[in-house]
Amino acid sequence: MLPLQFKTAKLADFRAPTTRILFGQRLKEVQQIEASIKRHGLLNPLIVMQRGKRLMIVDGKKRLAALRRMKFAGKLPRSLVSVPFILVGQKTPADKPAMGLLSNREAFEEVARLRGNGQSVAEIAATLYVTNQCVRDLISIGLLSPRLRQAYFGGTISTAQARAFASLPNMDAQDSLLIALGPFADAPEILEAIENGETVLDMGDDNVIILPSRRPLNTSLAGPEKLQDKLADAKSRQKTIIMRQKTASSRLEVKKTLDSTKVDNAMGRFEQYERKIDDLESQVDAYDLGKKTLQDEFAELEASDKVEDELAALKAKVKSANKSTEKSE
């Protein structure tokens, strides 16, 4: 018995037991896997058994077809140049079933058993050597109506289709939607019908129940592609908001700098004007220095008149003195 081994190999090393021409529903499913790989990477490794030097696919034929189509188109991610795979025998070392060798029913029952033992999604994934998403998908099968569950166990609908139907909480509505869309509607079409349509339930007694809302009960199970689109849109809007914030902050700083410079320039100009006015006033004062006003001239005239009067009086005294001297002689 070979134990589970995680390895990688080149895409050309894998072989599928049978080769089918891709068309119709199978082609749609492979294209959906391609889109998922482009967006999320290879979520589930290929499950293979070794036959000589060849790696025979046990589980993952559609994933292998999607990888080959992407390589042919030149769109294979660099991270998948070496493709991860799990090499298995019929049983694991702990006598645990390899998921790739179980039927849909057996895989669901195994997950339900471990879930009933109280194990978490991560613990179940580690126990069965699968991804958390694979475990969540199998858990969602328990939300299906009996008819849809049997369709999944029989391989009529895929895991993606089952997950889409399980997002509708009302089991009667699930069956009604299956009848309306048929088993060939892919997961996005089912989710679109759930979000936009109405479910009409025929009660068999000439009465019907119309369910106006068929939105998913749990968005984590409804359309991972749509959730990824919303997340990408939110991140884009966040980047836009951050850029707007940075731009606004830069503009504010520039405005502050410009306004501060304008105020400084205005104050400088005012000071220049004040200095010019002071210079003009000084020049006016300089012109006034040395100039006699009218009052000054009148005062000078009055002073000269007093001097002349005093001279005349002095002359008169001198004459009178001379006369008195002559008489005495």
Average pLDDT for 296-307: 70
Whether 139 and 176 share a structural domain: no
CB count within 10 Å of CB 170 equals: 16
Contacts of 122 (CB under 8 A, 6+ apart): 132
Whether 40 and 128 share a structural domain: yes
Pairwise CA distance, residues 306 & 310, whole Å: 6
The segment with the largest mean pLDDT, out of 30-39, 88-97, 190-199, 272-281, is 30-39
Whether 140 and 249 share a structural domain: no
CB count within 10 Å of CB 283 equals: 10
Task: Give residue 207's pLDDT band: very low, low, confident or very high (50, 70, 90).
Answer: very low
Whether 153 and 183 share a structural domain: no
pLDDT at 180: 80
Whether 111 and 244 share a structural domain: no
What confidence tens digit (pLDDT) does each residue in 244-271 have? 777 777 777 777 777 666 667 777 777 7
> SS3 for 245?
helix
Angle between helices 146-153 and 171-181 (to 10 degrees): 60
Of 36-50, 178-192, 213-227, 231-245, the poorest mean pLDDT is in 213-227
Whether 28 and 51 share a structural domain: yes
Task: Give residue 130's pLDDT band: very low, low, confident or very high (50, 70, 90).
Answer: confident
Range of the structural domain that residue 191 is part of? 166-222
Q: By percentage, how much of the chain surpasses pLDDT 70?
A: 71
Average pLDDT for 68-91: 82
Pairwise CA distance, residues 49 & 108, whole Å: 22
The mean pLDDT of the chain is: 75
Task: Give residue 199's pLDDT band: very low, low, confident or very high (50, 70, 90).
Answer: very low
Domains in the chain, number: 4
Whether 77 and 91 share a structural domain: yes
Pairwise CA distance, residues 118 & 161, whole Å: 27
Q: Could you give the C-alpha distances from 31 to 14, 76, 142, 201, 271, in angstroms and in order? A: 20, 13, 27, 33, 78
Average pLDDT for 228-248: 71
Whether 59 and 69 share a structural domain: yes
Whether 24 and 108 share a structural domain: yes
Domain boundary among 206, 222, 238: 222
Task: Give residue 20's pLDDT band: very low, low, confident or very high (50, 70, 90).
Answer: low
Residue 201 has pLDDT above 50, yes or no: no
pLDDT at 144: 92
pLDDT at 91: 45
pLDDT at 22: 63
SS (H, E, C) the chain: CCCCEEEEEEHHHEECCCCCCCCHHHHHHHHHHHHHHHHHCCCCCEEEEEECCEEEEEECHHHHHHHHHHHHCCCCCHHHCEEEEEECCCCCCCCCCCHHHCCHHHHHHHHHHHHHCCCCHHHHHHHHCCCHHHHHHHHHHHHCCHHHHHHHHCCCCCHHHHHHHHCCCCHHHHHHHHHHHCCCCCHHHHHHHHHHCCEEEECCCCCEEEECCCCCCCCCCCCHHHHHHHHHHHHHHHHHHHHHHHHHHHHHHHHHHHHHHHHHHHHHHHHHHHHHHHHHHHHHHHHHCCCCCHHHHHHHHHHHHHHHHHHHHHHHHHHHHHHHHHHHC
Give the predicted TM-score (pTM) of the model.
0.39
Domain boundary among 222, 240, 256: 222
Whether 97 and 208 share a structural domain: no
Look at residues 196, 144, 152 and name the one whose alpha carbon lies nearest to residue 173: 144
Whether 101 and 16 share a structural domain: yes
Query: What CATH number does residue 128 fall under?
Result: 3.90.1530.10
Whether 123 and 233 share a structural domain: no
What confidence tens digit (pLDDT) does each residue in 37-49 have? 888 788 788 888 8
Domain boundary among 145, 165, 185: 165
Task: Give residue 214's pLDDT band: very low, low, confident or very high (50, 70, 90).
Answer: very low
What confidence tens digit (pLDDT) does each residue in 144-160 have? 999 999 888 887 888 88
